[in-house]
Structure 1
Amino acid sequence: MPDSAYFLPAALLLGIPFLTFFLLWLGGKSLNSTAGYLGTAATIAGLIISFRYADPATLHIVKFNWLVIGNRVIELSFRFDRLTCIMLAIVHFVAALVQIYSVSYMHGDKNLHRYFAFLQLFLFSMVGIVLAGSLLVMYMFWELVGLSSYLLIGFWYFKKRTVWAAQKAFVLNRIGDAAFLTGILMLFYYTGSTDFEVIPGKLWELSPGLVTAIGLCLFGGCMGKSAQFPLSGWLPDAMEGPTPVSALIHAATMVAAGIFLLARISFMLTFEARLVILAIGTITMLTGAIKAINEWDIKRVLAYSTMSQLGLMVVAVGFGSWQTAMFHLATHAFFKAGLFLSAGSVIHAVTPSEDNTAFDPQNMRSMGGLKKSLPITFLCFSICAAALAGLPFFSGFLSKDAIITEGFLWAREVGPLAYIFPLIVVFSAGLTAYYMTRQVWLVFFGEKRYSGTQSVHPHESPATMWIPMVLLAALSLFIWFSFNPINASGWFLHFLDPTESAHLFWVPILASGTTLLFIFLAYREISSQDPFKIASAESKTNLFEKININWLRDYSQDRYFIIPFAAIAGYFKKLEARAIDSFVEFIAKGSVVAAHVISWIDRNVVDGGVNLTVYTIRSAGNAARGLQNGKIQSYYLVTITGVFLLVLWLFFA
């Protein structure tokens, strides 16, 4: 039933960021000095409201009549439940820390009012998705998230690469959103509603195949927002935006929206739909992890890591456990935001004091030995990296352990071949440990590879930057999610109310052993003569560029959107030359051969038959005419022959 008591919190949670957006946007540059504080205060107010009205044990719904189509009344509904409580707290908390961090990180930018206004629009959109009580309402805010992410990624609009990255994110997300909208329209057509409270009672009227199709269409929205294969190409390029924006997008807002959607529609996902989701999540998880191993940009490593971790969350949904997916989303929000903010601190520390276009402050080959210069950043980065790698006593270990456990339980029910999926998850966790060990060493250990650049003077970030990093690092410890550091079935997972909670004692051993093995492999690489092939990396990059093996990573100034179309045109050219032209040539040669065969038949069979008939008739006529010649002896011969034949006939008859 609608709950009028929750009209006020719904209005405040949506109204505060929306009004703050208009205030900062219309206030112009005169608000540059106070924009960060106003945005942070508005976000903290939303966080307080979220805690004040948190009631996870009870469902509260707020509804409004929007319009009438025929006999159908379309309502705008908002809901407060267990999922809402978790997401509101995470979104507001991370957004508040990101804005505090941005006050120093973005200091001196001439358009700070616009930056913080876009952050508030982004927050408004994400809160709308979290509060949505129907797929229709969610879709409205879903599109607003796409718009606000486009604005934030392309904030530095005077840079071509930044604008192209924003365009790429926008275009690829529209593809997924088209599938999402298709699923919503199908659901509305067959059930007459998109409300989360109404749909479960209507699904039994639909055929299983139709429910599967609708579920996969809705999953298309997740593929776009949460960067799943094959729509994952926008996520690494989104790093062209400001680093705090990357932290916000990757941690608790835009990319989390897809996982939140899957949690909301989990009751609609049939076994067949979950198999497809599982396959796509597995491909995304492995692809992101493998690409992170070969990347040198400090932010793009984390971007590919996010892509891989989102794939892991999708895999959890494929296992039939949206609860563990949300568990990992919560832990990932804190340690991934901490990693991005720490990466921003590193970039801030090694940025040349003078203009130096030859030095790239994001290239890890230009770093090394920063541990002593950035002790707080090093500590925060290491803690968050350990959580991402899944080491014991950190939050990531618990959430990954929960997903792996669910995977083995699912495989036990499905069959022997299904065990390959949880084993791939374990292997992917090992890859994560490898590339995070690689990144920590490249940034903070080894020789100081920036020492040849005189204008680089590493220094620790100000308190407004490292305090958010410290808080996020502290929240990456196990204690906030389970009092037992090796048992994922703690209070947080039970808070999500899983259908069943199991603990396989050997899963932590297997996961920890795999993680330590890959860390050891990374350590062996560290001790080699050319660790991680730093010296030969440039030649490899050039080789990749020559063969154009990965156009999704190319955001050059001249070739950006042309590359995929050129690749597609090349494939079509080969198809035309090898298939279509060959087929046409085959038809042409076949036609010539058939024409020769038909010509021979016409000359020798058709014309031959006609000529034979004419010849036979003419010969018979000539023979008959030869007998009718007026000579008596010829007539006697004919008569005797006839009599002889008649006698033979009578004799044998």
Structure 2
Amino acid sequence: MPDTAYHLPAYLLLGLPFSCFLLLWLGGTSLNKYAGWIGALVTVAGLLISFTYIPNLGIPYSLLQVPLPWFAVGERYIDLSLRFDTLSTLMLVIVHFVALLVQLYSTAYMHADRNVNRYFAFIQLFLFSMLGIVLASNLLMMYIFWELVGLSSYLLIGFWYTKKRPVWAAQKAFVLNRIGDAAFLTGILMLFYYVGVTDLEVLALEIGTIPQGILTVIGICLFGGCVGKSAQFPLSGWLPDAMEGPTPVSALIHAATMVAAGIFLLARISFLLTVDARLVILVIGAITMVIGAVKALNGWDIKKVLAYSTMSQLGLMVMAVGFGSWQTAMFHLATHAFFKAGLFLSAGSVIHAVTPHEEHTGAEPQFDPQDMRTMGGLRKALPITFICFSICAAALAGLPFFSGFLSKDAIITEGFLWASEFGALGYLFPVLVVLSAGLTAFYMTRQVWLIFFGNERFPAAVHPHESPVAMWLPMALLSALSVFCWFSINPFNAEGWFLQWIGQEHGEHLIWVPFVASAFTFVSIFLAYRETGSANPFKVNDPIPVGEPAQSPWNWLRGYSNEHYFLIPFEYITKYLKVFEKNVVDALVDLVAKGSLVFGHLIAWFDRTFIDGAVNLTVFSIRSAGQAARNMQGGRIQSYYIVTVMGIFLLILWLVAM
């Protein structure tokens, strides 16, 4: 297919969601009844375009570009070209498919809201922004859409702007992302300075002209964009608070759009990352993975537990890039998109069941409908939700015969292969991945039990019921896509068609990795299962302190019995990381702020004293000279005589001096 044939689909992929955003936004509440279906139809059109034009590119790494000339700076031309390749194919399909299911789900979940048109308009703007990142062929264009994704997330997280916490959460997400985006922009400007372009294809050819030290700094700066968007340490604080938005928004942000953008960026710029930059990325990813897993262990908020889980899984994907295998990172991104979206939508179904008219309309409920201490025994009332949640939880925990098992084992394998070349200290990182996988299995078992098993702990006024078909059908589809067969024929070998298609070269397969990883997973599940048989499992029957939030992120280990001492090392790690963040990161931010204030006062003093002083002196001199000249022209003969004599005298002096 000629390159010109891709002009129309390129314009449609970006034009359709943006046009739909304008239609729903300007149409007002009169479109409330049809807004969800309009958005879903537009997304279906984008998905069909993706399937029709993109997948037949041939071999991996094949590339087609659609040039869009923008402007010139001297002899340097800036294009906003679009890029169609294997990586963009994968993301186009995932983003469209998950967004479609989220919108179908939202037609039922958000039906009672008074501003449904605005909700679906923001989703279309979000989709437009994410597609711009996916299709961008140069980093400057990617940065433009990067900022639009930040704006879209701000609008969606703070959708219920009449409530204080969503507004606060939206502002927090916006500010923390701007910090990472500043580093991203710095990296782009450095590339433009040293190479003169930001086009990915040209950069791949010109990378040898950049000194290695500078290239390392550029790679770390570009990684800063991922730190913000994909909630890596130390900018991960916004992700759990983003749960204040509507639950379908959480599924969209955590599965295939905003947080996936950072991993996609790392895959795009992998050729720019030096060994030192990858080591920094690996350390940051490991810290994030461990913190996220530990924070999820003792949370009570059904959505925040999943949010911390997302944070941990994103750290795992970043570690895969640090291992030098962006392909396995994208593999886990693809599997994670389906089972994590399924988990969030299933969590929304649970919330919908226990508060059918409150949470999804933005009103303040009489009790916390997201607190798992007020659930329990819901598997009978919500059989479909229970099955969907369990399947997706099994995939997240990395159980055999599920997609998460394949993608996690692929990363663990790459980790041990990398460590064999790095040295003995390098084995710490794949071992951390295995231990973190065990923690994931533990807290997911705990969450499934707290929601669906045990005694019923919700108020008598609550009558849980299964969600309508518009809600459980997307959950069922995502659950079905969490099974192994969609990614590999062999349930115990990740080297299936998916990794080959995305460009993973056939490497060494460690036969013992699936067995070791599965052993840790099953041991963790067994420990969690033993806790369910205690008199007060997970301390769920303890009285809920008045005013205590469902999530107490730093009170991790309260409530675990003595047999869970294996969690103590993680407590110490995260405790010292908290101290480091408070005493070093926060202190550095405060120092920069105070230094900027003092420097601003010095600049203001210099401006008043010297800049303004010089201007005022000039004005005074000219004014004085003018006044003196005016006095000499007052019409008095004596003045004229004096001027004439002085002029002749000065002329004589000048002639004598010559």
TM-score calculated relative to the size of structure 2: 0.82
Sort the Cα spacing of 1:320 and 1:547 in 2 relative to 1 into closer, same or farther, 3 A: closer
- Check conservation: 1:2, 1:62, Cα contact below 8 A: no
Aligned residue number for residue 330 of structure 1: 334
Equivalent residue for 2:474?
Answer: 468
Structure 1 segment 226-375 matched on structure 2, within 5 A: 226-351=230-355, 357-375=365-383
Q: What is aligned with 1:483?
A: 489
Partner of 1:596: none
What residue identity is the alignment partner of 1:416?
A: A
Contact kept in structure 1, 2:298 and 2:555, CA below 8 Å:
no
- Would you say the 8 A contact 2:239–2:307 is kept in 1? yes
Counterpart in the other structure of 1:19? 19
**CA apart distance, 1:535:** 3.4
Q: Deviations over 1:229-273 (max 9, x none)?
A: 000000000000000000000000000000000000000111100
Alignment deviations for residues 467-518 of structure 1 (CA, whole Å, 9 cap, x no partner)? 0000000000000000100100011111111134332110000000000000
Contact 1:352 1:455 in 2 (8 A): no
CA 1:200/1:357 → structure 2, altered by over 3 Å: closer, same or farther?
closer
1:432 aligns with 2:440: yes
Q: 1:572 to 1:209 in 2, by over 3 A?
A: closer
Aligned to 1:225: 229
SS in 1 for 2:82: strand
Alignment of 1:251-650 (within 5 A): 251-351=255-355, 357-450=365-458, 453-536=459-542, 538=544
In the other structure, the counterpart of 1:554 is none
Find the aligned partners of 1:228 and 1:276 in 2 and give their Cα distance.
12
Per the TM alignment, residue 100 of structure 1 is displaced from its structure 2 partner at its CA by: 0.2
- The aligned residue for residue 622 of structure 2 is none
The amino acid that maps onto 1:261 is L
Task: Supply the distance in 1 between the matched residues of 2:215 and 2:300 (Cα, whole angstroms).
Answer: 43
2:68 aligns to what SS in structure 1? strand
1:108 Cα offset (Å) = 1.2
Q: Does the CA-based 8 Å contact 1:387-1:395 persist in structure 2?
A: yes
Query: How many angstroms does 1:356 deviate by?
Result: 8.1
Deviation at 1:525, TM superposition (A): 1.0
Residue 417 (structure 1) shift: 1.1
CA contact (8 A) 2:301 2:550 kept: no
- What is the identity, as a one-letter code, of the residue corresponding to 1:87? M
The amino acid across from 1:506 in the alignment is W
Question: Matches of residues 73-222 of structure 1 in structure 2 within 5 Å?
Answer: 73-222=77-226
Partner of residue 8, structure 2: 8
Partners of 2:313 and 2:194 in 1: CA distance: 35
Q: Secondary structure at the match of 2:65?
A: strand
Alignment gaps of 5+ in structure 1: 551-563, 577-653
Would the alpha carbon gap of residues 476 and 570 (structure 1) be closer, same or farther in structure 2, given more than 3 Å must change? closer
Alignment partners' CA distance in 2, 1:567 and 1:430:
29
Q: Which residue of 1 aligns with 2:36?
A: 36
Say if 1:489 and 1:502, in contact at 8 Å, map to a contact too: no
Mapped to 2, the partners of 1:352 and 1:15 lie a distance apart of 36
SS in 1 for 2:296: helix
**How far did residue 175 of structure 1 move?**
0.2
**Structure 1 residue 353 displacement after superposition:** 6.1
The letter of the residue matching 1:29 is T
Inter-partner Cα distance in structure 2 for 1:380 and 1:496: 28
**Deviation string, structure 1 residues 103-122 (Cα, Å, up to 9, x no partner):** 00001111000000000000
Displacement, 1:570?
14
Residue in 2 aligned with 1:643? none
Distance in 2, Cα, partners of 1:92 & 1:243 = 18
Amino acid paired to 2:35: A
**Residues 461, 331 of structure 1: CA spacing in aligned structure 2 closer, same or farther, 3 A cutoff?**
same
Deviations 1:579-619 (A, max 9, x none): xxxxxxxxxxxxxxxxxxxxxxxxxxxxxxxxxxxxxxxxx
Residue number in structure 2 paired with 1:585? none
Match of 1:637 in 2: none
* Structure 2 CA distance for partners of 1:199 and 1:437, relative to 1, 3 Å: same
| 2:67 counterpart SS class | strand
Larger Rg: 1
Q: Percent identity between the aligned chains?
A: 69
Question: For 1:392 and 1:546, how far apart are their aligned partners in 2?
Answer: 32
Q: CA deviation at 1:213?
A: 0.3
Contact 1:2 1:61 in 2 (8 A): no
Partner amino acid, structure 1, of 2:310: T
- Indicate if the aligned counterparts of 2:299 and 2:552 stay in contact, CA closer than 8 A: no
In structure 1, give the amino acid aligned to 2:525: I
Q: Would you say the 8 A contact 1:393–1:477 is kept in 2?
A: yes
Does the CA-based 8 Å contact 1:56-1:85 persist in structure 2? no
Per the TM alignment, residue 529 of structure 1 is displaced from its structure 2 partner at its CA by 1.3
Equivalent residue letter for 1:11: Y
Structure 2: how far apart are the matches of 1:401 and 1:376? 29
Residue of structure 2 equivalent to 1:584: none
Shift of 1:64: 1.8
Distance 2:410 2:584 in 1: 45
C-alpha separation in 2, matches of 1:396 and 1:333: 10
- Give, in angstroms, the shift of residue 546 of structure 1: 11
- Is this contact kept in 1: 2:295–2:554, CA < 8 A? no
Distance in 2 of aligned mates of 1:466 and 1:544: 26
Structure-1-length-normalised TM-score? 0.83
Q: What residue identity is the alignment partner of 2:289?
A: M
Q: Structure 2: any 5+ residue segments left out of the alignment? A: 557-578, 592-658
Write the distance in 1 (CA, Å) between the matches of 2:552 and 2:538: 22
Distance of 1:18 and 1:73 partners within structure 2: 27
1:202 Cα offset (Å): 1.1
Instruction: Identify if the C-alpha distance between structure 1 residues 324 and 216 changes in structure 2 by more than 3 Å, giving closer, same or farther.
Output: same
Inter-partner Cα distance in structure 1 for 2:584 and 2:141: 39
Structure 1 residues 164 and 544: alpha-carbon distance in aligned structure 2, compared to 1, 3 A threshold: closer
Distance 1:371 1:226 in 2: 33
Q: 1:464 to 1:570 in 2, by over 3 A?
A: closer
What code does the residue aligned with 2:168 have?
A: W
Change in CA separation of 1:156 and 1:543 when aligned onto 2, cut-off 3 Å: closer
Query: Helix, strand or coil: the match of 1:73?
Result: strand
Q: 1:528 Cα deviation (Å)?
A: 1.2
Distance 1:513 1:227, change over 3 A: same
* Mapped partners of 2:343, 2:289: distance in 1: 19
2:553 & 2:279 partners in 1: Cα distance?
34
Post-superposition offset of 1:568: 7.7
One-letter amino acid matched to 2:508: A
**Counterpart of 2:598?**
none
Q: Distance in 2 between matches of 1:548 and 1:306?
A: 18
CA RMSD of aligned residues (A): 2.5
CA–CA distance in 2 between the matches of 1:545 and 1:440?
Answer: 17
- TM-aligned CA deviation for residue 530 of structure 1: 1.1
Does the aligned pair in 2 maintain the 1:352–1:456 contact within 8 Å? no
